[in-house]
Structure 1
C-alpha cells in the first residue's frame, strides 16, 4: 500500500510539471507576437512617424507670355577687317623707330626711318644728270635749227640733216630719262620714311635700330611690324546647310530683303563672358559650301570702340534663327534633365505634382522659353525640385515668375 500511494503521488507531480512546461512554451511562443502587436499599436511606431511627416514645401510660378527669337550658337573667331605687314620699299640701315609697341596709329603716321644719306646722294646725282640733259637738249635744238636752214639752201646734204635731227630726238629722250631718274631717286628717298598705310594698332618692331633691312617686293622685303584695324571687326563662323537655309528664309519672312546676309542680328560673348554683350549683324554668307567640311562660312560685323574684340580671339557667337514669335517663359532653374529629355513639375489643384516633358526654346534673362509641355495657367515648381517624387503631394507657395528668375541669379 505505501508503495502504491507513492507511485500515484509521483504521477501527479509529473503531470503537473508537464502542464507547467507546456504553459511556459506557449508563453514563450506568443510573447513576441504580443510585443510586436503592442509596438505596432503604440503611438511611438513608424505609422505615427509617417503620419507626422510634413508635406514638402516648394515654390511655384506660372509661365509668362513674351515675344522671343530663336538663336543658334556657334564657336567663331575674330579677325581684323584690315591687316597690313609693314615692309620697307628701299634697302638700308634702320635709323629711327617712331612708335611705341602696341600703340594706336593713324594712316600716314611716321613709323620707321631708314638711313637716307645714300639715297639722298643718288638723288643729287640724278638731279645733276638732269641738268646735263637739259644743256645737251638745248645744244641739240640749236644744231638742228642750223641744219634745217642750211638744208633749205642746199648747204648740207640730206644725210647730214637727218643726222642732226636724230641728235635732237636723242637729246629729248635723254632729258626724259634723266627726269625719270630724278623722280625715282626722290621716291626712294621718300621711302626711307616708312609710314602707316591704315588706321589701327601696331605690333612690336621686328628689328632694332642699326639692322640692315631689305626693300622690294613682299617676298623679299624685311618685315618691320604689323598693323591691324580694330574698329569694326569681323567674326567668322561655319554653319551647316540647314542653318544657312534657315537664315535665308528668315530674311524673306522678316521682309528685310532678299540679299544674303542683310541685317540678320548676331551677338557675341568672349571667353570670360556669360552673357552675349556684343551686338552685330550678319553681312556675308558664302555662296558655296565647303565640300571638305560640309559647312558654309558666315561673317558678322561688330563695332569695337573699346577694342575688347581682338583679332585672333575665339568667341561664342549667336545668330538670329527665327523671326520674333510669342512664347511662354518659365525660370530656367525650374527645368530638370532626365537623360536627353527636359522636364518640369506641375502642381495640380489638390497639391499633387505631375511630371511634364517639355521642349525648350531660347534663354532670356534667367527665363527659358517653352515651346511644348506647359500651359499659361499651369503652376510650375521653381524651387524645391529636389524634394519631389512622382505622385507626391506638396505644399506650394505661389510667386511671380520674374521674382523666381531674379532669385536664381548669382
Structure 2
C-alpha cells in the first residue's frame, strides 16, 4: 500500500479530497432531463473497475445525531450610531485646534477655539444695556409711586399716573430685552469653545489655525466644516436578509410582543472564530422589492474601540429552536457544479455517492438537511480512494470529540 494509503487511519483526521478526486466526481452529477443518474453511473464504474485489484481502505462513520438549533449566516458592515459633522455655530478666526487627528475623544473634550474677543465685547455691551434699563426702571417706579400719592391727595391727575405706569412698563420691557441680549451674547461666547458632543474617534481637522470660519445656528445657513466625529461604543452592524431567510427567522424566532432582542455571534473579517457577540434589535418594516431583501441591524458592544465603521464581519443568528439534526465532517461534503455530494459505503462495500442539502457549519462539522439517513456510513477519510461504484475495505471511524469548538 502506498504511503498515502497508510496515512488515512488517524482519529478525526478529515482531509479535503485532492484535485484528482474532484475530477473523478465531476461526472457524478450527470443528469438526464434534470434527473440524477446514480444507478447508471455506478453500473458504468463497476464494470470499468478491474476485478483483480485489491480493495482500497477507507474510514467511514455514521452521521452524528445532535439536538441543535438551525443558524442563519450573513455578511454585515459596521456603522457608527452617531456620525457627526463638527461645525461652528459662531463665526470668527480659528485660534486653536486641541486634538490630534484620529484621536479618541470623550464627550465634553475641547476640540476648537474661535477668537472670543468680539463676543466678549458684545456681552459687555449687553450687560451695560441691562444696567441702563434697570436704572430707568427704578426711576420710572419712583415716579409712578409719586404720581399715585399725588392723585390720592387731589394734587395730581389720573392721566399722569397712567403716563408713569407706561414708562415703568417700558423700562421693565427694556430690562427683559437686555437680559435676552445677554443670554444670546453668552451663547455665542460659549460656542467659541467647540467641544465633542459624543465619545468617539475624531477625523482630521479640516481648518487650520488663523483661518476665518463661518458659523450659524441653523442648518440652512452656510457654515464651515471643521472635522468629523463617529461614536464607537456601542456600534451598529448592518446586514440584509433574503426573503426566505426572513420568513424562516420570523416564523421561528421573532416575537410578536415586546422589543426585538436576539443574540448574535460575530466573526471579524479575516478570521474564522466567532469571538464577538451582539444583539439583533432592529428589522425594517418592509422587504425591498427591487432587491428582495429586508434590512436588519444589530447593536454590538465595543469597549475596546477596535471595531470601526465600514469594516465587514460575518454574523450568525439562531433561526429555530433546537431539533434533531444529522452532522458529518465538513471535509466529507464535496461540492460539485450545482450539487453537494457525500460518499457513503453500502452494506456490500460499494462506494455510493449521495446528493445532500447541507446546512450551516458547526466547527469541523456540517449539518445535513436532507439526503442522508442515520444508518448511512459516510466516508470520512481515504476519500482519494473512494471511487463511486468501486469496492472498498471499510474501517470504522469516529468524529471529533468537540465539533463546535471551531468557529464556523
Displacement after TM superposition at 1:331 (Å): 0.6
Q: For structure 2, which runs of at least 5 residues remain unmatched after alignment? A: 1-49
Say if 1:332 and 1:240 are closer, same or farther in 2 by CA, change over 3 A: closer
For residues 250 and 308 of structure 1, the distance between their equivalents in structure 2, rounded to whole angstroms, comes to 33
Q: Secondary structure of the equivalent of 1:121?
A: helix
The aligned residue for residue 245 of structure 1 is 247
Displacement after TM superposition at 1:250 (Å): 1.4
For residues 332 and 290 of structure 1, the distance between their equivalents in structure 2, rounded to whole angstroms, comes to 34
The aligned residue for residue 196 of structure 2 is 196
The aligned residue for residue 122 of structure 1 is 122
The aligned residue for residue 109 of structure 1 is 109
The count of residues paired between Structure 1 and Structure 2 equals 355
* Aligned: 1:75 with 2:75: yes
| Alignment of structure 1 residues 25-36 onto 2, 5 Å | none
For residues 278 and 231 of structure 1, the distance between their equivalents in structure 2, rounded to whole angstroms, comes to 14
* Aligned: 1:320 with 2:322: no
**Cα deviation 1:296-350 (Å, max 9, x = unaligned):** 2211111222333311223333332222212121111111233322221212344
* Aligned: 1:222 with 2:189: no
**Cα deviation 1:145-182 (Å, max 9, x = unaligned):** 11112222333333332222111111111111111111
Displacement after TM superposition at 1:94 (Å): 1.0
Say if 1:79 and 1:366 are closer, same or farther in 2 by CA, change over 3 A: same
The aligned residue for residue 141 of structure 2 is 141
Displacement after TM superposition at 1:203 (Å): 1.3
Displacement after TM superposition at 1:261 (Å): 6.3
For residues 183 and 218 of structure 1, the distance between their equivalents in structure 2, rounded to whole angstroms, comes to 21
For residues 318 and 291 of structure 1, the distance between their equivalents in structure 2, rounded to whole angstroms, comes to 24
Alignment match of 2:304 (pick from 303, 306, 320): 306
For residues 362 and 322 of structure 2, the distance between their equivalents in structure 1, rounded to whole angstroms, comes to 13
- Determine which structure has more spread, i.e. the larger CA radius of gyration: 1
By percentage of residues, which structure has more helix?
1
| Alignment of structure 1 residues 8-407 onto 2, 5 Å | 53-216=53-216, 217-219=218-220, 220-251=222-253, 257-259=255-257, 262-402=260-400
Q: Secondary structure of the equivalent of 1:402?
A: coil
Contact conserved, 2:60 with 2:381, CA < 8 A, in 1?
Answer: yes
Q: Secondary structure of the equivalent of 1:361?
A: strand
CA-based RMSD of the aligned residues comes to: 2.5
For residues 235 and 51 of structure 2, the distance between their equivalents in structure 1, rounded to whole angstroms, comes to 67
Q: Secondary structure of the equivalent of 2:253?
A: helix
For residues 392 and 258 of structure 2, the distance between their equivalents in structure 1, rounded to whole angstroms, comes to 53
Displacement after TM superposition at 1:205 (Å): 1.3
For residues 337 and 288 of structure 1, the distance between their equivalents in structure 2, rounded to whole angstroms, comes to 35
Displacement after TM superposition at 1:291 (Å): 4.0
**Cα deviation 1:354-385 (Å, max 9, x = unaligned):** 22222222101110112233333433112232
**Cα deviation 1:250-288 (Å, max 9, x = unaligned):** 126xxxx42376233333333322344332221112223
The answer to which of 149-158 and 189-198 deviates more is: 149-158
Q: Secondary structure of the equivalent of 2:134?
A: helix
Say if 1:269 and 1:351 are closer, same or farther in 2 by CA, change over 3 A: same
Displacement after TM superposition at 1:53 (Å): 4.0
